[in-house]
């Protein structure tokens, strides 16, 4: 199993669960219909608590669709960046949901193990190294150095820089929602141990 179980965010009852049927408004139902038509699945994960603000859920969902399927990065790199954000926030659902997707997309298990343990992976490809430095600097220092920026720009271009920032920011936002809501991880999926702060 990749990573140890439990985190401070998992303790206590789930908050902001599904909107009860008797409280669903027309705006909720419209948002639910838009989600299921776009995603071809029922509302899940972070979108369960986000439905409490239906327009926010729809707008965030649209951004997520772009980042997952049409960004400057193939899934091997976008899923890698998602795991960096999930690890930074010790976000159990995000990690449990995206870890298997990352493996399927070609992210090496040793890389994932290192991320789970809060370590810099030793077996990254060059493009992963560039994005690791960019994303970890961004979340740890609230910015990126000139050398890191220049290397990222030279490799991925301006669109890649913006999309890397947006992937990091989007999954940070979802992590904040999920941690606040105490959304449980996928049953039986790998989860994260807290990192020392």
* Integer Cα distance of 53 and 28 in angstroms: 8
For the chain, 197 residues long, give each residue's pLDDT as a single digit of tens.
Answer: 444 444 445 567 888 989 999 999 999 999 999 888 888 888 899 999 999 999 999 999 999 989 988 999 999 999 999 999 999 999 999 999 999 999 999 999 999 999 999 999 998 999 999 999 999 999 999 999 999 999 999 999 999 999 999 999 999 999 999 999 999 887 887 778 887 76
* Integer Cα distance of 93 and 45 in angstroms: 7
Dump strand ranges (E) for the chain. none
Residues in contact with 4: Cβ distance below 8 Å, sequence separation at least 6, in sequence order: 191, 192, 193
* Domain spans in the chain, listed from the N-terminal domain onward: 24-69, 75-181
* Integer Cα distance of 197 and 188 in angstroms: 27
pLDDT at 197: 65
Give, in degrees to the nearest 5, the angle at Cα 182 between 87 and 86: 15
pLDDT at 132: 98
Whose tokens are 């980042």? That residue is 67
Residue 153 has a CB neighbour count (10 Å cut-off) of 14
Architecture of domain 75-181: Up-down Bundle (1.20)
């Amino acid at each position: 199993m990749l990573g140890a179980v439990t985190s401070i965010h998992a303790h206590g009852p789930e908050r902001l669960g599904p909107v009860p049927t008797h409280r669903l408004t027309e705006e909720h139902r419209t948002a639910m219909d838009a989600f299921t038509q776009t995603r071809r699945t029922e509302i899940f994960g972070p979108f369960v608590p986000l439905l409490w603000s239906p327009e926010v859920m729809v707008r965030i969902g649209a951004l997520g669709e772009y980042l997952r399927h049409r960004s400057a990065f193939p899934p091997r790199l976008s899923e890698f960046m998602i795991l960096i954000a999930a690890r930074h926030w010790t976000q159990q659902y995000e990690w449990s949901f995206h870890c298997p997707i990352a493996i399927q997309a070609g992210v090496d298990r040793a890389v994932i193990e290192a991320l789970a343990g809060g370590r810099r992976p030793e077996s990254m490809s060059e493009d992963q190294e560039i994005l690791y430095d960019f994303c970890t600097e961004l979340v740890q220092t609230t910015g990126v150095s000139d050398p890191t920026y220049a290397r990222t720009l030279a490799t991925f271009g301006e669109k890649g820089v913006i999309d890397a920032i947006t992937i990091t920011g989007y999954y940070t936002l979802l992590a904040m929602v999920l941690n606040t809501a105490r959304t449980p991880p996928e049953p039986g999926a790998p989860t994260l141990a807290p990192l020392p702060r």
